[in-house]
A = this chain, B = another copy of it.
Amino acid sequence: MTNPRRIIVIGGSAAGPKAAAKARRIDNDAEVIILQKEADLSMASCGYPYYVGGFFDDRNQLLCTPAGVVRNPMFYLNAKDIEARVNTEVTAIDRKHKTLSFKNLADGEAGTLPYDKLVIATGAVPRMPPVPGADLDGISTLQSMKDADFLRNVRDEGKIKKAVVIGGGLIGIETCEALQLAGIEITVIELLPQLLTFLDWELAKLVENHVKSKGANVITDNGIAAFLGENGKLTAVKLENGTELPCELAVVAIGVRPNVKLAKEAGLKIGELGGIDVNEYMQTSDPDIYAVGDCVESVNRITGKKVHAPYGDLANLQGRVAGENAASENYVTFPGTIQTGICKVFDYAAGSTGLSETAARKLGYTDIVTVVNASPDKPGFMEGKLLVTKLTADAKSGRILGAQCIGPGNVAKQIAQWAMAIQGKLTVEDLINADLPYAPPFSLAIDHFIATAHLLQNKMKGRLKGISCHQVYLKILAGEKPFLIDTRGPEEFEEIRLGISETLIPLGAIRKRLKELPQDKNREIICYCKISLRGYEAALALGANGWKNVKVMEGGIMAWPYPRDK
């Protein structure tokens, strides 16, 4: 090994610069070089949708330090003593001789560079649908600074009237909002039966309802068959069911795949999911080469299985680990991910951590319990806003497996709490008496998080017989006739109601109106209210009066994702 050690980082977006900076901090003497194919460095790529959507107007803010200094090669040299070369594509890695070949995309000059340690941070590339017309003008992704510039220009010009977003995942939904804010008529197309697959269907449907309420169209269960155009320009998107959606712009957001071309050609081991295989030190199958960010596979800390988790926060954390290890020995490890994510959706946020019920079942977890809780995040007098949480836990141990939360309330705080609970390997029992920061401007006296744990505990102890909105809906579809009681007040009932042959019996009247209930004490009765707190009280009252098959519809009307009467 030469002295000083030369550490080369391939990729200058998130994980790469973080690895370079950490390597520099660990080894003052090392030569640290970033080779970046793009013209820009350290782009805040998660911020693109907000630039496109006009949350801010200064493009430089995507490239600046918090103090307003653009992170260009001069900045890296002066502030961090790191040589950053932009417009520089690495074309090959020669592992035997420990050199790499590069080409300067600006002047065409090529060369080779020896390395002692290499960090690959080549990111991911957007997947494109294998359909005709993909080369038409007017089709974009939102993956690069160039894409962001293009779409921001669309906003600024104000010419485009109709656009289609292909893909209802995180980026698709963020793009949908951004373009909708630009005054463009948007349709989101999703091949699967729901948006945001990190959520279970019923929560995703609530998000979809919110997106639609903002004027965007959503088409699920339908894929794209072709891009149609005239004179080389996009004019419509054709769906698998034949529908044609006229549009001048299509943004493809059907996910990304790890960019492993370079690594593969160099003979590094690629994982089953298509990402570079790394160990806990972020080291590839070549001990002198590390890899980080969207191009690698990570370990899911709950299941122990490999996943592809292209998240900006993980990229930064992995970069830090690889940077330290590349600059020293393998001292530090990256423990993996619990796949925590969050997404702004107009006035809602949608977040998830750990396993959804769907994900858990797909992985073979069978002995699990779930509950849905809806409540405001703060008291009414502090203008509390709705949160709907679905919690999944192991039925035997009570260990938290995952939580999802959506709504206009402080979703980020809820998900952060669940994420820490999962990382602490905590159980439902542990959370029952959690000590969280309470004051009315910030939470309910019993925080939504704790109340959700209470509900699941009550369910696990058999005190709360919960039934999901989805199950109730299926019963109705199947022609079953459970006796449905809405336990709210008449005024509330006039304003909003499901219209599923329910009987209105306000909680305060239920003990006096027992005669109106089915006299067969074994008849299935399902109680609910706005959030099913009064529904729960009512169910207890009925249980106390001898009815044996009384259920509570979890989350109440606020968790009902289907059309309603009013």
Partner of A78, one of B339, B425, B508, B544: B508
Q: How far is the CA of A544 from the CA of B508 in the complex (A)?
A: 74
A164 within 8 A of B: no
Complex interface residues of chain A between 371 and 387 (CB less than 8 A to chain B): 375-376, 379-382, 384
| Contacting pair B434 A423 (CB below 8 A) | yes
| Contacting pair A541 B437 (CB below 8 A) | no
Which one of A48-56, A226-234, A260-268, A391-399 is at the interface?
A48-56
Q: Nearest B residue to A441 by beta-carbon distance?
A: B344
A413 within 8 A of B: yes
Partner of A314, one of B412, B430, B435: B435
For A, the interface residue count at a CB cutoff of 8 angstroms equals 109
CB distance from A290 to the nearest CB of B (A): 15
A443 within 8 A of B: yes
Q: Nearest B residue to A317 by beta-carbon distance?
A: B433
A424 within 8 A of B: yes
A477 within 8 A of B: no
| Contacting pair A47 B436 (CB below 8 A) | no
Q: How far is the CA of A51 from the CA of B47 in the complex (A)?
A: 39
| Contacting pair B382 A507 (CB below 8 A) | no
Which one of A59-67, A98-106, A187-195 is at the interface?
A59-67
| Contacting pair A543 B413 (CB below 8 A) | no
Known: A381-B50, A508-B69. A423 touches B435 (CB 8 A): yes
Chain B residues, Cβ within 8 Å of A51: 381
Chain B residues, Cβ within 8 Å of A131: none
Known: A47-B382, A75-B508. A67 touches B420 (CB 8 A): no
Which has the most chain B C-beta neighbours within 10 Å: A67, A74, A349?
Answer: A67
Partner of A413, one of B69, B80, B412: B412
What is the 8 Å Cβ interface bit string for chain A, positions 314-347, against chain B (1 contact, 0 not)? 1111001100000000000011011111111000
Which 9 A-B pairs give the minimum distances between C-beta atoms?
A: A424-B424, A420-B420, A28-B544, A342-B437, A313-B438, A78-B508, A61-B381, A412-B442, A413-B413
- 27 contacts across the A-B interface (CB closer than 8 A): A25-B540, A44-B379, A46-B440, A47-B381, A51-B381, A66-B375, A66-B376, A66-B530, A67-B488, A67-B489, A68-B380, A79-B537, A301-B435, A315-B445, A316-B446, A335-B433, A339-B435, A412-B437, A412-B443, A415-B436, A416-B437, A419-B435, A419-B437, A420-B426, A420-B434, A421-B424, A423-B424
Instruction: Name A's B-contacting residues (CB within 8 A).
Output: 14, 24-25, 28-29, 44, 46-47, 50-51, 55-56, 58, 61-62, 64-69, 74-75, 78-81, 301, 311-317, 320-321, 334-335, 337-344, 349, 351, 353, 375-376, 379-382, 384, 410-413, 415-417, 419-421, 423-426, 430, 432-443, 445-447, 449-450, 454, 463, 488-489, 492, 507-509, 511-512, 529-531, 533-534, 537, 540-541, 543-544
